[in-house]
Structure 1
Amino acid sequence: MNDIYQRLHLASEAQDQAEIIATLSAIKAGKLKNDLRLLNFYREVPVSYGAEVLTVEEHDAELAVNQIQAVVIAHEKLTVLKSSHFHRDVAAAVTYVNVEKSRVVVSNLSYALVRADRRMSVRVQLGSAIDASFAAPELDALHGRLHDMSLTGMSINVAREPNLPLSQAGELTIALPSGSITVAASLLKVIHTGDTFRMVFEIEPSRAAELIISQYIFQRQVEIIKELKDHPGVTL
């Protein structure tokens, strides 16, 4: 199980992989149109470019990819293959990456449900420390740092276990660079991340807050894409 995808078995693990490998072989041979694309997420921003099948072996395949995609793959060591010829999206481990040559080798291929495809809105991770707090009636405010945000949800990292019931309603206050905003929020889940606890909220922003959040998300997306393009291995 993974934040990006959940592996699925349509037949057996071996049969599914054989079927995926056969499809990649047919694409390489020109028997099927090459509509292969790879999907990754970098700081929650989707990165998706076309790919070419170079070689296919019994359990793996070498692909020519976009350099920016290769940078993200080198960081994550996994990718998702998308094609109309697959029965479902395909999750793959990446055993080799060469950013300069734009080459990757994928293996451990299986069908998958891509969780991020089901999100209702674009999400971004934060690049700088942004203070956040959650307050509810008759409760002490919880202070932490914003981890990620979208128009429908936010998560914050707090130092101690919140000990709040799921669906606890309250207000999130976020100190964005353009000014603080407060939105109605409901607790969806709490994740123990090791040193901190991540509180994940569903939010209901006002029209004014929604505009501020949209502007910040767009600005953050631009920063993230620039970060990838400025990677020393990218020569595009």
Structure 2
Amino acid sequence: MEPNFYRPTVQASLEQDSAEILANFKEIIKSGSGTRVKLVNYYKGLPISYPATLVEVSGQVLELDVHPQQAVALGLSGRTCIKCGAFSHTLLADVKDADVRRMTASLHNFSYVDLMVEQRASLRLELDPPCEAEITVSGRKVAARALDVSLGGFSALTPQPTQLGKGDEVLLKVMMPNLLHNTVAPLEVPATVVDVAGCDAGELCRFSISSDSQAEGVLSRFIFQRQVDLIRELKEMSG
């Protein structure tokens, strides 16, 4: 679970919140009512969300029975969000253990969060591997690698400073893969800079795009096939 997917919402303190959450889960299990919750993970941007069953609270750890594909996502992510009607906020927890074969998971270190990723207008999937890209602004070309894609935009990493600012208009070219035919073709779209942030590898730029029907078709087909491939990966890993 990437940090930019959620926003902490501390109620008392991290320690008090975690203790309160565990106490509430213990009471829910004891009462025998509403022991089903929903876990939410993101595998390369694809939401993985299955019901899970509360089993017991042992010390500071919550034990659950989970779907095998959720167990894979839990093990890969190391964190998960929990949706439970008994709480007014989404919960975040660290994964202590996830067993795909036994379909069990152990969670600890609970906190309250707002799940920011749910506010996105469209699904954003990682490009793995990143795609070669180029940003053109005022006749100047900047090499980049596109890291993720949605119907509404891209994120791209540049090795050097771009001198771009929020609201700048650019032309974005991304070498988009055709996953069915195993080919690559350039996609050029007008784009607007949404955010620029420095990082160890250079600058991370986020763009919203203005696409015509042809570009939308290319993106829609890629995103659909990418989802199919990610689901297949999870099934293979879950046995």
Q: TM-score, normalised by structure 1?
A: 0.90
Aligned residue in 2 for 1:116: 117
Aligned residues: 232
Q: What's the offset of the Cα at 1:228?
A: 1.2
Aligned residue in 1 for 2:197: 191
Correspondence 1:221 to 2:222: no
Q: Which range moved further: 20-29 or 66-75?
A: 20-29
Q: What's the offset of the Cα at 1:48?
A: 0.6
Alignment of 1:105-184 (within 5 A): 105-138=106-139, 140-178=140-178, 179-184=185-190
Distance 2:126 2:27 in 1: 38
Distance 1:22 1:177 in 2: 49
Q: What's the offset of the Cα at 1:221?
A: 0.8
Q: Write the letter of the residue equivalent to 1:85.
A: A
Q: Which range moved further: 117-126 or 53-62?
A: 53-62
Distance 1:119 1:154 in 2: 13
Gaps of 5+ in 1: none
Distance 1:11 1:129 in 2: 41
Q: What's the offset of the Cα at 1:129?
A: 4.3
Q: What's the offset of the Cα at 1:98?
A: 2.1
Aligned residue in 2 for 1:29: 30
Aligned residue in 2 for 1:82: 83
RMSD: 1.9
Contact 1:185 1:202 in 2 (8 A): yes
Q: Write the letter of the residue equivalent to 2:147.
A: H
Corresponding residue SS for 1:205: coil
Corresponding residue SS for 2:227: helix
Runs of 4+ in 1 over 6 A off after TM superposition: none
Contact 2:7 2:114 in 1 (8 A): yes
Contact 2:190 2:209 in 1 (8 A): yes
Q: What's the offset of the Cα at 1:89?
A: 0.3
Distance 1:44 1:123 in 2: 6
Q: TM-score, normalised by structure 2?
A: 0.89
Aligned residue in 2 for 1:43: 44
Contact 2:148 2:155 in 1 (8 A): yes
Distance of aligned partners of 1:177 and 1:15 in 2 relative to their CA distance in 1, 3 Å threshold = closer
Gaps of 5+ in 2: 179-184
Contact 2:128 2:147 in 1 (8 A): no
Q: What's the offset of the Cα at 1:15?
A: 3.9
Q: What's the offset of the Cα at 1:58?
A: 4.5
Distance of aligned partners of 1:181 and 1:115 in 2 relative to their CA distance in 1, 3 Å threshold = same
Larger % of strand: which? 2
